[in-house]
Each structure stands twice: as structure tokens, then as C-alpha cells.
A and B are shown apart, each in its own frame.
Chain A
Amino acid sequence: MKNSIVAAVVAASMGIATAAQAEITVGFITSQSGPGSSIGVLYDRGMKAAIEYASSVGAEKVKLIQLDDGSDPSTATRNARKLVEESKVDLLIGTSTAASTSAMVPIANELKVPMIAISPISVAANEAGDRWAIVMPQPPTLMVKAVVDRMKRDGVKQFAYIGFSDAWGDLVYNGAQKPAEADGLKILTNERYARTDTSVTGQVLKMMAAKPDAVLLGGAATQGALPPLALAERGYKGPLYGTPALLNTDFIRVGGKSVEGVQVSAGPVIVAEQLPDTHFSKKISMDFRAAYQKANGMPTSDGFSAYSFDAWLVFLDAAKRAMATGAKPGTPEFRVALKNAIFSTKDLVGTHAIYNYKPSDSYGVDERSLVMVRLVNGQWKYEP
């Protein structure tokens, strides 16, 4: 296990820390090892960029304690507990797999610490009806809705669906049903395949026989390219649509020519450079890119690191208002004040979205958090 205290730590030593000058402590958990680390490392770099961007609330410096969860939900919960009980953090941020993130939420509820989830999970209120966690990423239903609305605009009347035979495939299919009905689109097929499948010929034949105007892809990453490859092989020429799960270099590498022109919904930060200057995300995203370059010594174009950056922005904004209540960091009163402040976040501009949180809902983004992008010559191009 790697314990690292990252950056921006105040020089004020524990010894002279008086009650009046208590610093705000944030506990950050991400996967720097294990299968979730490919995303976890991005979250880590995004956090480094966030601290590079701003590391204080008013005059108050913020202390960040970062722990690795090894992509393991039980380690994530253990670390969350340790951060709260031993390090007395005022806020938890984490982590890179949905399972681990979901596992952290009960700890936040139990120990009454506000938490910012940076993986897309659904959060239920605790027994008392309280919510302690908010979720940064766009909910899957919104990701799919943006795509279905775009299909309607493109004149698609009926489309075929093929997705993973797992929770993600279900999320995309179920998410597509409501907007499709509202937009008057017909879903012709609900075909499924497993990540380990070697062929989707059967499914593709059935889809082609239904004569769809377009195909919606409910896969992810590398294996998301399997249906487009099979479709191209069978001579399908129509448009392809997908979710942000396809924003992946392996998808482009494996799919090659067959995925050219695919349109997916994405957080605006993905195409920051191409956004018009009037777009809310343009300035903050460019600031984020610059901070990322400075903190990590490399450029970025992924969306994940931007979630931890946005989480930090939400925290800074809420912490400022929580400090104004007079509660001292490190105390239960401050945690409640911080939670209340987070859940009353209003029109906070981030790289992915304009965030508005209400006590009744853990999701705080709307349609503005998604733009459509198209794959042109292996590059994602903004499609307003």
C-alpha cells in the first residue's frame, strides 16, 4: 500500500496547530494498482492538476491525504474508514471502479462525512433519509439520452441496439427506451454479447435483417469495436452511435476503419480546444489542461482526470461557504456544514458540466454536460 501525502501541504506543523487555525483535510482514494489502475492513475493526475490549479480556500490551505485501494472494494472501505477515523478528514473523494466507489458510500453515511464520488454510481439515501455523497460524472441515462436526441435530429426513425450482456449493456438499453419513446424512435433489436465473445455474427445478422437506420452500441473500450467490425464485414453502411464508454484509444485502434464516423456523447472537456469561446467549459477546460501539463509534465485529452478536477472545484466552492458558517474544520459541525454547502452548490462551472446539487439528488448535471463528438481520422471532432 502506498501512502502518499500529496503536494500543497501547509508548513504549519501539527504541534502548533491551534484550534483557531485548523486546516481542512481531504481524503482521496484512487486505484494506483490492480485492474482499475488504468483509470485510477488518470484520477490521480487530475487531482494533481486540481491542486496545481488551486490549493486553498480563502486564506486556508488544504491538506490532501491520498491512499491507493488496489482496485479492491474492501481495501477502499478500509481506507475510507482509516481516513475518517485516524486522519479526521472533512471530505472523502474516490475512486476509480464503480464497485469500490459504491462500497465507500455506506462509510460516508455511517461516519457522517461528505463524499464526492468520481465514478458513475447510483447513491441511495441512508436510513434517516440523508445523503452524504454526490456523484460527479454524468448519469448513464443522460449519456444515452443525448445520443438518442442526436439520432432524432439526424433523421433516424428506427435503430438497432447491441450491447454487453452485463449491467452496462442494461443501463444503455434501459436508458435509451424512454428518450426513444419521447422522440418517437423505434428500437428494433436488443442484442447482447459478452466481453469474451469471439464473434457477434449472429447478432449482427439479426440487426441487419431488421433494416435499421442506425445502430446504437452499448459496449465499452476494446470489445466495443467487435460489433462495428462485424457490421462492416456484413456490408452495413449506416451511421453508428455510442456512449462515452467508447472514448478509448483501444476502441479506435482495434476498430480501425469500421468505427470511422461513429458519434458518441462526451463531456465537453474531451474536445475543449474545439469548443467555441462562448461555451461554458472552454475557459475552465483550457485552464485544466494547462494545470495538468504543469503538474504531470504531459498533455491530456481524457475525461476521467477532469472528474477529479471538477470534484476539487465543487469542494473548494462548498468549503468556502462552509467556512463562512464559523464551524471549525475537523469537527462534526464542519462536516455537516460542508455537506449542506455541497448539496446547495449552484451553477458551479466545471470542465464537464455546470453543477447544481440539491439535497434530494446525488446527481447534479444536466444536458449541458454532454456534447456530441464524431470520430474523424482517429480523432474526436466536436459536432455542435
Chain B
Amino acid sequence: MNGEIAAILAMDGIASGAIYVLIGLGLVLIFAVTRVIFVPFGDIAAFTALTLASLETGGRPGTVGLVAVLAVLATAVEATALARNRAFDRLPRALLFYLVLPLIPAVAVWFAAGTTLSMPIRIVLSLALVLPIAPLLDRIVFRPIADASVLLLLTVAVALHFALSGLGLMFFGPEGVRTKPLTDAVFDVAGLIVNGQMLLILAASIVFCGLLFLYFEFTIQGKALRATAVNRVGARLVGIRPTSTGTIAYLLASLLAGISGVLIAPVTTIFYDSGFLLGLKAFVGAIIGAMVSYPVTALGAVMVGLLESFTSFWLSAYKEVLVFSLLIPVLLWRSLSFGGSEEEEAEE
């Protein structure tokens, strides 16, 4: 290996790491606010890519059906809950949030299918279409068991992943897709070929990290999210509703998943079940950040990307093994140096 190869590998690793950063941040965000390890996160990224691809070929993406089904289910769940509390006055609001808003992009895409749209519109439409999936799933699956143990929530999340990937097969079919590159630009930096797509991924990752930081530091909503993450009961006492912070967390995380899906779609072929591995690798990053620290998660995710890239050069057959083996020393180190996570559990 010479310096040039090392530089190319490092760049490649950072680019795939940047994708894991976006997904990892989303995982931490959802976990911090709702205590759910959202396993189907990668699926949502994959669904975005599939949606974008089918819009590109002028087809009608399966996401339309998926969102419609979820919206109807969520509305039914919410309406039943409201009826049980005799809170009929809140019904119109529930209809607006759980049925009308999620269906607007779906309807738009339904009618737009077949026409050729420009790239930015396609991306915005795909994002808008995918955005409601996680909050709707939250309403249907997680909110009724919001106070359950972390283990139960995790188990449900794993089950949800399998359900979603089954639905993915039904709505998107078994074929893989790859979209046209967002940019064809190629730059020559000190003798190294850097393609624009890679820079775009990096830029998007940095911009969204920055936006998240600003959001958490300077907005009331962001601070409410952080408060819920630190202590659910305490946040409730000072007037923050955990359900609405949960929805916001899911929305934000959906956006991150959607962006990573859009960025990764031109780089590789995405299948209906590709998301799981993406999510799993990002999860390794999130574990390095102990599921609480955003900056350490980002660092961990980049590390996973680099490790992946270099092992694919040295020992490509064992790449996956090495990446996931990274978990063992990290978990050992984590459990030895931060032995006190039990008290957090006891607090509930």
C-alpha cells in the first residue's frame, strides 16, 4: 500500500462513514428521546432510495401505498384512543395530523407519476413521502407501549423491522435500483480523483450535523427534546409533552434517514432489504457514542466507514466480521469505564 492508495481508501471510508453518521445521529436522537432503538431506521433510508428511483423511471413508488396504509392505521388508533377518552373535540386535529398531512405528498406523487420531474423536485417529493413513515409507526406501534422497558421496545423494534422489510418486498418488489448520480463533477485534488458525489455526501453530512447542533442549542423545541432525553418525568413536570417530543424526534430522524437514502442511492444498488445492514453499521457507531453522545457517535460512524474501507483492501472476505467485531472491545471499554447505567433504569 502506498500513500495514494491510502488516501483513496480514507476518502472512500469517510464518504461511507458520512452516511453512517446521518443514520447514527438519527438512531441516537430517537433513542435519547423515546428509549426506542429504532431498528427499522435503515429500512426507511432504503425506502427513500427506492422511492427516488421509481420516480426517476416515471413509475409510481410503492411508498404511496405504504404511507396510505400506515396513515389509515394510525388515524384509526388515534381516533379509538380519543373516543375512549371522550375527547371528541381533538378529533379534527388528529385527522389533520395523522391522515391529511401524511397523505398530501402521497397524493401529489400519485398524480405526478408518469410525468418527468426535475431532479430537485423528485428528491423533495421522495423526502416528503418518506417523512411521515417513522412518526406514523411511532403512533401505531410505540406510543401504546411508551413506558415499557428498553428491552421490550427493542424487541418490538426488531419485529417492526421484519414487518417493514416484508412490506418493502410487497411494495417495491425484489429488484435492486440505482439512481442517476446527483452530480457528474470530478475534481482533481493534488493528483487524487475526487468525485462530486462523494463531496456532496460529506457536505450534506456536515451541514445536517451543524443544523442539528443549532437546533438543539438555540430553539425551544430542541431544548425540549434534550430535556426529555435527560429525564422524561422531569420534562413532563415542567410542561413538556413526551408524545409530541417523540413525534418531533421521529420526524427529524426520518429526515436524516431520507437524506442518507437520497445520498446513497446513486452510489450503490439498493434493495428492499438493504437498509438493515446500513442501520446496523451506523448502530456500531452509535454504540461507540454510548447511544447518548452525538459527537462521539459521529466520530464512531466515521471510524466504522474507515475500518470498512481499509479492511476491504486488506481482507475483503472478512470485512463484515471485522467491522462488527469492533463492537466487542468498544462494549468492554464502555462497560468497564461507565459501570453505572443501572441507576438510570431504576429511575423509571
Contact = CB atoms under 8 A, between A and B. Distances in A.
Most buried by A among B178, B264, B267: B178
A317 B271 CA distance: 42
Interface stretch (B104-112, B229-237, B284-292, B306-314): B306-314
A233 B181 CA distance: 13
Contacts of B313: 202-203, 205-206
B9 A196 contact: no
Contacts of B310: 202
Contact of A199 (B5, B274, B309): B309
A222 interface: yes
B311 A202 contact: yes
A222 B178 contact: yes
Interface in B300-321: 309-314, 316-317, 319-320
A251 to B, nearest CB: 10
B174 interface: yes
Interface string A279-305: 000000000000000000000000000
Nearest to A248: B175
Interface residues of A, number: 29
Contact of B8 (A38, A205, A250): A205
A223 B309 contact: no
Given A197-B268, A199-B16, A202-B309, A222 B175 contact: yes
A111 interface: no
Interface in A34-81: 35, 37-38
A245 to B, nearest CB: 14
Interface size class of B (residues with CB under 8 A): 20 to 34
Interface in B152-199: 169, 174-178, 193, 195
A193 B174 CA distance: 20
B178 A202 contact: no
A202 B9 contact: yes
A51 B278 CA distance: 46
Contacts of A202: 9, 12, 309-314, 316
B39 to A, nearest CB: 16
B19 interface: yes
B5 A254 contact: no
Given A202-B313, A222-B269, A196 B174 contact: no
A320 interface: no
B151 interface: no
Nearest to B320: A194
B277 interface: yes
A226 interface: yes
Q: Chain B interface secondary structure, helix, strand, loop or mixed?
A: helix
A201 B309 contact: yes
A197 B309 CA distance: 11
Interface in A174-221: 190-203, 205-206, 209, 221
A244 B278 CA distance: 29
A306 to B, nearest CB: 22
A209 B274 CA distance: 30
A349 B317 CA distance: 41
A165 B264 contact: no
A225 interface: yes
A190 B277 CA distance: 23
B277 A196 contact: yes
Nearest to A191: B316
A35 B96 CA distance: 37
B270 to A, nearest CB: 9
B312 A193 contact: yes
A312 B15 CA distance: 52
A188 to B, nearest CB: 14
B175 A199 contact: no
B178 A38 contact: no
Interface in A10-27: none
Given A222-B175, A250-B176, A254-B269, A198 B316 contact: no
A198 B268 contact: yes
30 contacts: A35-B174, A38-B174, A165-B317, A196-B271, A196-B277, A197-B268, A198-B19, A198-B264, A198-B278, A199-B12, A199-B267, A201-B8, A201-B309, A202-B309, A202-B310, A202-B311, A203-B312, A205-B5, A205-B8, A205-B313, A222-B175, A222-B177, A223-B269, A225-B269, A233-B193, A233-B195, A250-B175, A250-B176, A254-B178, A254-B269
Interface of B: 5, 8-9, 12, 15-16, 19, 169, 174-178, 193, 195, 264, 267-269, 271, 273-274, 277-278, 309-314, 316-317, 319-320
